[in-house]
Structure 1
Amino acid sequence: MTSPQPSPREEHPENPFLRPSQDGRSMRSLTADSKNSSRSMLPLLYTQGLLEPRRNGYSISLLMTSLYSTLCSALFFIVALVQPKYGHVVSARGRFSPSSAALLTAFIAKTVELSFVMVFLAFLGQVLSRRAIQQKGLNLASVEMRSWILQPGRLFSQWHSVRVAGFSFLGVLSLVTAVLSLLYTTAAGALVQPQLRLPPWEKQMMAGQVDGDFSSTLKADKTCLTAWPDVGDDQWGGSTCLAMKWSSLCGRNFVKYMSAWDDAAADSSPPWMSEDLLERKRISASLDNNVTVTTAWLDHHDVAAESEKAGRIINNITIAVPHRGIPAAARNTKNDLLQPEDLHDGGSYSIHASVASFAINALCVNAKEEELAPIIYKNWPNAIPMEEGSKSVNWWPILGFPEGTNTNNKTVLDDIFGWKDETEDHSRARPIFLKYPKAGNTIANHTQVPYETGDRPEVYLLGKAPDNTTSDYFLCSMKAGITTSCTTRYNASSGGQDLEAVCDDENGKHTEDAAIQPLRSDGDRAALVGWRELGFNLLNSLSLNNGVFDGDASTARIFTQLQLTEPKLNKTLPSPAEALLSMTTCTVLDLTQNFPFQPFWDTTAGEFDQPQMQYFNASVRVAQYMSGGEKDYQKALLVVLALTLLINIFILIYFAVLLRIRLVTDLCEPLVLFILGYHSPPSEGFFRSATHLNILEVN
């Protein structure tokens, strides 16, 4: 009697994935039937393929996709972290226009997002499929993790699956991936896509063209003639050109400055209407009709203290004029700065240059008639009468100073102006005026013409207030020098340009927002003798010397009305020194070009046949397209890029190293999952106890 044979279920546990179909036929018979009958509607499932990892075209393409997603996400993360500046690369004339750069970034970000989701779904399917084969079952809540990524809304509508599988390692990873897939394009747009921004200050060595030293460039008559038609006047053409330009440019600056002190401004009591010079309105001008120039107060001389010390009203003011060569240097191709037009008029830049600047000083002193007598020519016993207007204009002071005549008459103003006898110091000789100007007129000092080496650098102007305002006269000196205690700041954008001098404050410290320090060279404010000729022509062109023939010039009348009658600055009107400085600013702006950036240039020649390049230190901020969040809160999206990169690296290692690109059939694919369910008995596998248990919790 033979013993009963053990059933197959008792010998070996049955694998549900190798179980025959529900009608009792094996897969082999099903396959045969399907081959022999076209009417068979039963699905074919080759279960042997489920258990055999294969390397094929799909697995290799999946690895390439994972590699692409990893490399691109790494690139985006590095770009967002480094925040590179693209300069000319992303500009109107660059390799990419701003719109093209934005399109390229968005395209790459979208492909990274799609490839990231694709490789993660493949990773999830491989992990779950291999686990299902090993454990002879599959948790449907784990299968639901695919839909979290494909349909993130199911996280809220099917929250039961999150409660069941969301706390496992794969569940947490799937939840994170779902969030990353939603935010990746947004993060890339905020942190990677090039955006027009203004980066921090950067030090840069800049270059600009120079024609000669400061002395040679002060020969403005030659500069003026370069933009003047040739009328054949070789002798007086240059001075005539200067007179025409000065009467318009310098006079315009004076009118503009006076207009700022109108009654409407006085009624509103602005803070710059003050007795403190540092709070008063700074003197401005215009360069080339399109650059607003703002000077800086270089010294702070208290009028009350100085007047009390001297026993008379002292009005002493010095300003620093920014270097006019900085705008030209900014557009020099050697410096390679992005211009506003390169960014479709949306760009801008700022330059803070450590260069020398012109300093102009105006010193005005009130004096009585008898105190001025030693320097009034008509009071001299041997004075030559010059009653005719032509003589007083054309022949003074040549006729008044025959050979052997000197200006050694001592005055009470010697210490204030630093005057000395000619035999002691020719450059400090006293000025001589033809006569006392009548009220509302001014007379300039034109002695020591022509100029020689060692001559004084100042020009002088003597005036008296109109309408018997005061019995005192006032005498002003003007001179120009070079200062190294200031820097020049230049801002340019499509909205306009401004050039500004930035100097030390009253405590000797540079302003807090300064990006670069001044030169601090020795010999600061060395006076320029050559500037005196410019001052001479300036006073003539503005009719400030018409007092020699009682010309009653309008400019002189307005100017003399500003004479101080009290030892303090007038809150509602500029002082005479401020007014003179507003007129003389143009002498070192519009009529001098290509002068050096350094105060002492090591060169043996003052002038050159061709302009030469000179270098100077500067700090620059150039608006350009760059990556990185503009706001601090945008930096939080860096976590999205970082996590995406880490997950991509993890999946790439999993595919390439652990699986060696050998993949099994993904059981989580809807079609495969349907076939498995179709071939599972109702009492076993996927649908066991489905009538009284949550299907998500059943194996």
Structure 2
Amino acid sequence: MSTNAGEGEGDQRRLLQKEDSISEINSPKPSSSSILRHVYHRVDSSPDLDDAVSKSSPKPSINSIFENDEQQLRGLGISDRRTSIPRVPVGSRTSIHSRTPSNPFVSPLDSPRISEPSYIYNGDGLARDTPRIEEEQDVTKGRNSQFTEEFNTEEDGGNKGMDNHNHSHTDSKRASWLSISILGLSLYSTIFSGIWLVLAIAQPRYGRFIRSGGNFAPSTASTVFALFAKTIELSFVTVFVTFLGQVLSRRSLAKSSRGMTIAEMTMRTWVIQPGFMITHGQHLYHVGISFLGAITLVAAFIAMFYTTASDALVSPHLKFGGWEHKTMYGSVQASYANPDFIKANCQTPITAVMDPVEGGNECMALDYAGQAYHNSIAYMSTWAGIREAGGTSTKLAERPQAPGMLYDNTTVTGRWILINTSDINASNQKYNRVINNVSLAMPHAGVLAAAQDPKNSILQPEDLAGVGQYAMRASVISPAVNVMCVNMNKTELKPIVYAEWEYAKTNSSTVPGQKVAWAGWESELQVLPGHNYTNKTVVDDLFEWGEKYGRQTPIFPMLPIDYNTITNISAANNSDSIYLLAKSPNITDYTLCQLRSFISPSCSTYYNISGTTGGHIEAHCEDEHDDMAYSRSVPNAPTVRSSDWRNVAASWMLATSMDDGITNANASIARLLTQLIVPAPGDLNSSLPSLAEHLSVMIGSTLLSSTTLSTYYHYWDHTDTELAQPEYQPFNASLVSQQYTSGFTSKWEGIFYIVLLLVFVTNAFCLVYLFMRSGLVTDYTEPQNLFAVAVNSPSSHAVAGSCGAGPKGEQLNVNWHVDREDNSGHFFFKNKDAGRGNVPQDFELRRRQSGIARSMTSYSRLSKKSNSFL
């Protein structure tokens, strides 16, 4: 290229660096039209090298120059002003290739030079004079210098790539995609972490929204909640790391601040890679106790445990809520103890067409017999354990409760009631005889059907993956039975035993001394002229017989022999009872038992069911603290006796062979019962149930069948005893149930509330911080940005010896600033303790004025910021 041409272009391509800093020669224009920055190599300051250079040809080959490169000390790194390498002009040394006013450019191949000596830190705390070889390489030769920066000229269309090649950016405007995306992530993380915190505190119950077989299955819900928790965690980490980078980068750019240390640069790694705190524990010592370090340390821990906290406090778990008072509805179709309704609804394959007379009765007999014997076996098994353990109390309230079974999958427990009338000793003092009087209440069986009715919207165990559970207390009536057994001698029984009458017709018996009534003995039963009731007895007041009470006395055909029982189920005139006459082999007296049913208002029905243990229903009675007792819902409700139940109990007696004593059949159940008769006052056995107790347990099954689809009230408000279609009756109830619920299942999990709270607070703080800033500055803690600035910064004694194994000790505490050279706009790291001075000419950039102005504006705005409390 000619000299004139070089001069013309020199006016258009004015260099930003000092004219006396570099000697250049004119060189052919590279094909890429790029201007290359000089490269500077460090070499040992030895006489041999000086001699070699001084004796060298003015145009050494490229290979010889790079052979010297391999022997030089390459010191890319971070600089302070005290140890920077000033670029010294060659001075008076000239050559035919030196730059002159007419020849402003020098070929890098034609001008190898050795600079004047300068002081370089050698890593051992000493400084020595080291000459420097300065070279320039043409990119067209295939070898680029270490600090080459390229920008386009106007002739080469430099305006097209000016922003990318002509100046350094330090910030990103608020409208940029990076700022918008960070703010979006911060907003998302703040909103959802707040929602997660509210869910954990409010602990909402999801009811039928999350259930098996529904639109939102439990497994799906668990996955969705875990997914959202993970996105909150990831966005939180991203936002906090951005916040941390912004704080440190702005501090490093602000001249009034202390800058940032290497240990602080690693704080972002605590959050991203928590294990770093274990493998590099020394970093915690240097910055962990600072305010920003403490915040970062907390953020690292809460980020680690956020998913765990969400799973413990927010993800839906099966959990009980509190007791909820509500109105429930039960299906009702008949009055209490309606025998016709019970018979019609007995489940049997024998239809009315196949057996129109006894088909229903057969079904009822089998059901009653099966339930009675089942209850008897369960009850005796309980007593067998008590006897083996040495017995129990003689107080009825402390003796075993009555067992039962409903629908073969629900355990039933009855309760002894009217305890004050069951004291045998007190009755003996009043009536001078043994009176074994007990009353048993059973739960209302209709409550179970109401609990499973879809109208009440109670989640069943099968709706909760087969492991759900709930409990309810229903304010409904409870069916009850009273069994009173009285010991009487033969003479006292004579008025009510046909075979013992003076003119009775009897047959011979295989048992010596036994009188057997003839087959048609019932046809001779009639009252005396002018009377409405049969013979009087000495126990009329006790059993409430006769004209005074309006109840007919029972008449038995004959007296049973030992181990046998005989029944009476035909007493008329508004009788509500059935009777059993039994003979114990242990005493001479006979025992007469009366069984009758009534509706108790002093009870409530408890029902609970679990998918793992099954259902259980029980009566809860005579508890003054029971706010669900029927008498609380219906004040002053009376005790109502049931006359219909007598017909149900009659079928039960026949089905259980209680009348087999009429033929001296010696039935097994009769033999068992007669051995339970209390022989004398004060002889109630603490290791055996009494006859009245056992009879109550066996007949308790009829109470359950009598309340199936029957009224929940103490009255029946319909004319017909049976409805063609069932109707709903409301009743008060309390319910506690397991549902999929947010919240902890164990008290110790409450500690995770701290994690959720801190994540939300930190998110909100970061959102406010990022929103209050006009944009994002370049994050110099990001590895790629850190690397780009570090490799373009001069070396520093402050991190001497760290290139092999990394910084340690006090090197982690050295404060660094991101500084900028005023003329070129070049950014580099500077030790805060170093003076400002001039940036070494090694690191100047040739810039267009427009690009420099933009960098200066951005940097000046940031560098003048006041110190932040972070």
1:187, CA displacement in angstroms? 0.8
- What are the Cα deviations for residues 332-372 of structure 1, in whole angstroms up to 9, with x where unaligned? 11122222222332222222222111011100111122122
Specify the alignment match of 1:519 in structure 2: 631
Q: Do 1:217 and 1:593's aligned partners in 2 also have CA atoms closer than 8 Å?
A: no
Say whether residues 1:95 and 2:215 are aligned partners.
Answer: yes
Deviations 1:220-255 (A, max 9, x none): 333337764335443443334333333333233234
Alpha-carbon distance change, 292 to 160 in structure 1, aligned in 2, over 3 angstroms: closer
CA distance change for structure 1 residues 577 and 691 in 2, over 3 Å: closer, same or farther?
closer
Q: Is the 8 A contact 2:475 2:605 kept in 1?
A: yes
1:648 Cα deviation from its structure 2 partner: 0.6
Task: Report how far residue 321 of structure 1 moved.
Answer: 0.7
Q: Does the alignment pair 1:285 with 2:416?
A: no
Q: Deviations over 1:500-527 (max 9, x none)?
A: 334345xx534xxx68444344344311
Distance 1:217 1:381 in 2: 38
Q: Which amino acid aligns with 2:782?
A: E
User: Is the 1:92–1:343 Cα contact (8 Å) retained in structure 2?
Assistant: yes
| Partner in structure 2 of residue 500 of structure 1 | 617
The answer to whether the 8 A contact 1:217-1:595 is kept is no
Offset, 1:486: 1.3
> Which whole-Å deviations, capped at 9, do the CAs of 1:472-508 have from their partners, x for residues lacking one?
1111111011112111122222344343334345xx5
1:409 corresponding residue in structure 2: 535
Structure 1 partner of 2:583: 464
**1:618 aligned onto 2:737:** no
Is the 8 Å Cα contact of residues 192 and 628 (structure 1) preserved in structure 2?
Answer: yes
1:42 equivalent in structure 2:
147
Q: How big is the shift at 1:132?
A: 2.0
Amino acid at match of 2:485: C
Question: What is the rounded CA distance, in whole Å, between the counterparts of 2:472 and 2:241 in structure 1?
Answer: 53
Provide the C-alpha distance between the structure 1 equivalents of 2:346 and 2:795, rounded to a whole number of angstroms. 104
The residue identity in structure 2 corresponding to 1:190 is A
How far apart, in 2, do the equivalents of 1:446 and 1:159 lie? 91
Hey, what's the Cα distance between the residues in 2 that align with 1:496 and 1:692?
Answer: 64
Is the contact between residue 69 and residue 115 of structure 1 (CA under 8 Å) also seen in structure 2? yes
Amino acid at match of 1:401: Q
Root mean square deviation of aligned Cα: 3.5
Question: Which residue type is aligned with residue 184 of structure 1?
Answer: Y
For residues 133-282 of structure 1, the aligned pairs below 5 Å read 133-135=253-255, 138-140=259-261, 141-214=263-336, 216=338, 219-224=341-346, 228-230=350-352, 232-262=354-384, 265-269=386-390, 273-282=392-401
> Could you say which residue in structure 1 is the equivalent of 2:766?
651
| Alignment size in residue pairs | 658
Tell me how far 1:564 sits from its aligned partner.
0.9
Which letter does structure 2 place at the counterpart of 1:209?
S
**For residue 673 of structure 1, what is the aligned residue in structure 2?**
786
For 2:558, what is the secondary structure of its paired residue? coil
Q: Secondary structure at the match of 1:623?
A: strand
Pairing 1:116–2:116 present: no
- Counterpart for residue 201 of structure 2: 81
Matched, 1:357 2:471: no
Q: Report the alpha carbon displacement of residue 591 of structure 1 after superposing the two structures with TM.
A: 5.9
2:181 to 61, 76, 92: 61
Residues 1:458 and 1:53: Cα distance change in structure 2 (over 3 Å): same
Aligned to 1:4: none
Q: 1:215 deviation in Å?
A: 5.3
Aligned to 1:478: 595
Taking a change above 3 Å as real, the CA distance of residues 74 and 604 of structure 1, as seen in their structure-2 partners, is: farther
Give, in whole Å, the separation in 1 of the partners of 2:536 and 2:476.
Answer: 40
Q: CA deviation at 1:645?
A: 0.4
Deviations 1:69-123 (A, max 9, x none): 1122112111111112223333221223333222222222222111111111111
Q: Supply the distance in 1 between the matched residues of 2:322 and 2:808 (Cα, whole angstroms).
A: 68
Per-residue deviation at 1:635?
0.5
Query: Pick from 518, 533, 539: which aligns with 2:647?
Result: 533
Give the secondary-structure state (helix, strand or coil) at the position aligned to 1:628: coil
2:563 aligns to what?
440
In the alignment, is the contact (CA less than 8 A) between 1:307 and 1:567 conserved in 2? yes
Q: Are residues 342 and 22 of structure 1, via their aligned partners in 2, closer, same or farther at CA, if it must alter by over 3 Å?
A: farther
SS in structure 1 at match of 2:383 = coil
Q: Which string of whole-angstrom CA distances, capped at 9 and with x for unpartnered residues, describes residues 535-562 of structure 1?
A: 2222222222233343433322222121
| CA distance, structure 1, for counterparts of residue 562 and residue 329 of structure 2 | 51
Distance 1:320 1:75 in 2: 50
Task: Give 1:192 deviation, angstroms.
Answer: 1.4
Query: Are residues 1:327 and 2:448 paired?
Result: yes
SS at match of 1:224: coil
Deviation at 1:58, TM superposition (A): 1.1
Mapped partners of 1:504, 1:425: distance in 2: 28
Amino acid at match of 1:532: R
Three-state SS of the structure 1 residue aligned to 2:188 is: helix
Give the match for residue 13 of structure 1: none
> How far apart, in 2, do the equivalents of 1:393 and 1:620 lie?
59
Partner SS for 1:519? helix
Asked if the contact 1:211–1:217 (Cα under 8 Å) also holds between the matched residues in 2, the reply is no
Give the match for residue 637 of structure 1: 752
Separation (CA, whole Å) in 2 of partners of 1:49 and 1:291: 77
Q: C-alpha separation between the residues in 2 aligned to 1:304 and 1:461? A: 23
**Residue identity (%):** 35
Superposed displacement of residue 326, structure 1 = 1.9
In structure 1, the gaps of 5 or more residues are 1-6, 9-15
Q: Distance in 1 between matches of 2:208 and 2:580?
A: 53
Corresponding residue to 2:414 among 290, 295, 298: 295
2:645, 2:518 → 1: CA distance? 21
Choose 49-58 or 342-351, whichever is displaced more. Answer: 49-58
CA distance in 1, matches of 2:148, 2:315: 49
**Quick one: which amino acid aligns to residue 644 of structure 1?**
V
For the 8 Å contact 1:392–1:549, the answer to whether it is kept is no
Distance in 1 between residues matched to 2:593 and 2:174, nearest whole Å = 99
Farther off after superposition, 61-70 or 595-604: 595-604
Kindly indicate whether the alpha-carbon contact (under 8 Å) linking 1:490 and 1:500 is maintained by their aligned counterparts in 2.
yes
- Matches of 2:644 and 2:137, distance apart in 1: 110
Q: Which amino acid aligns with 2:525?
A: G
Cα distance in structure 1, aligned partners of 2:173 and 2:193: 29
Instruction: Give yes or no for the alignment of 1:336 onto 2:464.
Output: no
In the alignment, is the contact (CA less than 8 A) between 1:284 and 1:293 conserved in 2?
Answer: yes
Letter in 1 for 2:322: P
* Corresponding residue for residue 567 of structure 1: 681
2:132 match: none
Q: Tell me, what secondary structure is at the counterpart of 1:249? A: helix
Instruction: Tell me which structure has the larger Cα radius of gyration.
Output: 2
Q: Which range is displaced more, 571-580 or 471-480?
A: 571-580
CA distance in 1, matches of 2:759, 2:245: 19
2:743 alignment partner AA? G
Question: What is the distance in 2 between the residues matched to 1:677 and 1:443?
Answer: 110
For residue 418 of structure 1, what is the amino acid of its counterpart? Answer: E
1:65–1:51: structure 2 CA closer, same or farther, 3 Å change rule? closer
- 1:430-489 alpha-carbon deviations (Å, 9 max, x no partner): 22222322222222223435xx6xx021111112113xx211111111101111211112
Q: Which moved more, 1:380-389 or 1:401-410?
A: 380-389
TM-score scaled to structure 1, two decimals?
A: 0.85
